[in-house]
Amino acid sequence: MGPLAGIRIVEIEGIGPGPFAAMMLADMGADVIRVARPGGGAFGLAMNPKLDFSNRGKRCMALNLKNAAAVDVVLRLVESADGLIEGYRPGVMEKLGLGPEGCLARNPRLVYGRMTGWGQDGPLAQAAGHDINYISLTGALHAVGEKDGPPVVPLNLIGDFGGGGMLLAYGMVCALLSARGSGSGQVVDAAMVDGASVLMTMMYAAFQSGFWKNARGANMLDGGAHFYGVYETADRKYVSIGSIEPQFYALLLEKLGLGGEELPQQFDARHWESLRQRIAAIFRSRTREEWCAVMEGSDICFAPVLGLDEITSHEHIRARGTFIEEDGIWQPAPAPRFSGTPAPRPQQAVVSGADTEAVLRELGYADEGIAALRDAGAMV
């Protein structure tokens, strides 16, 4: 049933990192009850549930939280829950009557997770923003891109999902462990600006030591070094190399046909650009498939750069079972993996409100009470 079997999480529907955090908990066996609202999130409610991956493994109620009777339903849910996740701007849940104070009064053991970009306080707390804005303040966006070029947007992986959703999931589990021992719940303030900063820990240290330059494409791990980066092949595809260790670098030179030449010292940054140009010309002499035959599986630290239409066909990805497939639709399998409490195979997401009546009955509502909620407009 997964390592989080027996844990119940109430998710107040949002977009992006909040649902992703709840998905991670559901993947590990938690009973996640998503409370959807009229109009729904940006991607989930109108689409094919088979593709609504962030809502997989969850049950879904549809409630109008502007209705007092619907708010009371959520508070009754809270009484039986271990945690709650919400992703509104600071103060919105309080206006709905579902803020931490009221929820913790109903359930002192509750872990109340709050997902925002800027955090619950600070000058920007009430400002709108998106991933790109949050990572801008941390230096993460500044650091990504080619030499003499503008910053390159790294999808919304650093803010929304790595520094947001994963941070909140981690924070929830930490606080759940604390509540189990102490009997007291608490608020988890997960801000993407904080999470992105944590992800940049190594770069901050390297910058302050003088090892990392405050410029794009000038450092060992940002594409500046000729032995760590991406190269185009003859068929206009790409391969990646990460030959940092001297023995791996020596093997790279050997495979490139440069093993017998006297070349500048590997870490002498003055020669990185000229060496990059020379290596680039060599990589352009063969196709990606040909380079895979020469380098893949060796200690060069090599991999082809696969498109989204190729990843599920790679032999290592298939052997690992990194993706699961059903009815022609593939998605990532739950991760990480556990030897003693393996995660269950995720159940497909359901349409909004599919579980409203079933959950209400679990909470003790009879037919008359459910009908009253429907008549009052509390149920969507």
Strands, E, within 299-371: which ranges? 302-304, 323-326, 329-332
Residues of the chain with pLDDT under 70: 39-47
What is residue 50's predicted lDDT score, i.e. its pLDDT?
87
Q: Which domains, from first to last, does the chain contain? A: 8-199+325-375 (3.40.50.10540), 228-319 (3.30.1540.10)
- 82, 160, 194, 355: the catalytic one is 160
What is residue 2's predicted lDDT score, i.e. its pLDDT?
95
- 130, 235, 268, 299: the catalytic one is 130
Do residues 305 and 230 make contact, with C-beta atoms less than 8 angstroms apart?
yes
Alpha carbons 131 and 151: distance in angstroms, whole number: 14
Alpha carbons 324 and 246: distance in angstroms, whole number: 38
What is residue 42's predicted lDDT score, i.e. its pLDDT?
47
Q: Is 130 a catalytic residue?
A: yes
Q: Is 160 a catalytic residue?
A: yes
Question: Within 13 Å, how many C-alpha atoms sit on residue 72's CB side?
Answer: 11
Do residues 53 and 349 make contact, with C-beta atoms less than 8 angstroms apart?
yes
The amino acid sitting at 328 is G
* Confidence (pTM): 0.94
- H or E segment to which residue 203 belongs: helix 201-209
Tens-place pLDDT, residues 74-111:
999 999 999 999 999 999 999 999 999 999 999 999 99
Distance of CA 293 to the CA centre of its chain: 33
